[in-house]
Structure 1
Amino acid sequence: MAGQYVAYTFYRADPAWRRLPVEEREAHRDAFADVIEEYGSRFDHLRVYSTTGVRPECDFFLWKITERYETLGELGAALNATPLAGWLETPYNYLATTKASEYTSARRARKIVPQGSPYLVVYPFVKLRPWYALAESDRQRAMEEHMRIGREEFPTIHNHTTYSFGIDDQEFMTAFECDEPADFMHLMLRLRDSEASRYTERDTPIFVGQLMTIREALARLDGIGSLVEDHD
């Protein structure tokens, strides 16, 4: 039954941090980035996404995937030891695990392997209780329609659904890699017509993150538009 633990941790910087001296902010960014880079090899995958300028309550988030639950806490403790942590809030943190889907022929949990798409859309998801009272055949039919729409009409969008029953407040964490955020909007609009969507209780807040290195994301946090040097 063992699978992967999947966590999404969102960070927001205190605006007062930007009033610190430039050299101090640079040291803060470097120390935080050093920890992320050091821990990268301890995770199956550790990705960073910027939300600067998109969501008011967060500036960037981490997508963490590991088979060892303790690794999540170890990274958290290491980041808390950095100077930047004293200037960061964590408005959201979500935990989930992988498991075999009830609606496919797979009998083992599918390992999550990020595709490297430039954007990731993430949100917690809860179904209405009447969904679970439906006959298994009815749920299977509804989910087959749901999956077929995504697979056939939006093949460049990659779904990474994980399960939070009993370990967090939501039932599922849904994450979709895509080439353009607008592509995902069209998928969601199309799915509004599906039978399964009638049983959605909650699918917010929704976050759209842009894939970056930790140093690029922290540079944006500090108001630096690009790390690319001008050699002209």
Structure 2
Amino acid sequence: MDESKIPNHIYQMSTINALVSGLYDGCISLNKLLQKGNFGIGTFKGLDGELTLLNGSFYRTRPDGSVYKCTKNEFVPFAVVTEFEEYRTYSIRDCNCYANIKKYLDNLIESKNVFYAFYFNGVFSHMKTKTVVKQNLPYRPMLNAIRDQHVFEYDEVEGHLMGFRCPSFVEGLNVPGYHFHFISKDKKLGGHVSEFSIKNADVRIQKCSCFRMELPDNENFYNMKVTNRNNEIKQVEK
């Protein structure tokens, strides 16, 4: 097995601080990213949609909320992937908001000091997603770019919700806490998840004890001014 695709290992391209700062240049192709795992989330070059890697296939959510499959020659500025292999599965019924779901998941995990991947399949009584809009050069910081984002809400939708929980000590490198993307079962709807409720779903959990991050190899990253953008990240993610 390719050592970069070992289950329970997380691979990340770039830092969340770099992305929020406006570094949207493509750093790695989807073809190479697939060599790192079969499951993950991210975005595309120029913030051209939300990226979801599900069972080895890449999907882009467009600004209108629609989803389509991507060719592997596209590039991304930021992504987090793993070779998904669950070690526990749980059933969740009638959990009525994101905050309660996070509390429930926190009680399932062994420690808040390691990474976890989560893969939900089921029916969601409510799903609120958002999708970024493609940016043109010169790129704006994300806090400005998300002014153009589109928000969608769905009721009684069946599909896949997936993402990661990162420890608090990766602040600046990734988003501490939970970060999910959604794709409907029919692969027609999706996006970055900002709120959801579960009617009936199974969640598979993978504990990830190894984290590998690759930094962008370009002048924009080399010259980036490193600042504390934690407040901006919280606003972008909510």
Superposition TM-score, scaled by structure 1 size: 0.29
Query: Between Structure 1 and Structure 2, which shows a larger proportion of strand residues?
Result: 2
Superposition TM-score, scaled by structure 2 size: 0.28
Query: Between Structure 1 and Structure 2, which shows a larger proportion of helix residues?
Result: 1
Larger Rg: 1
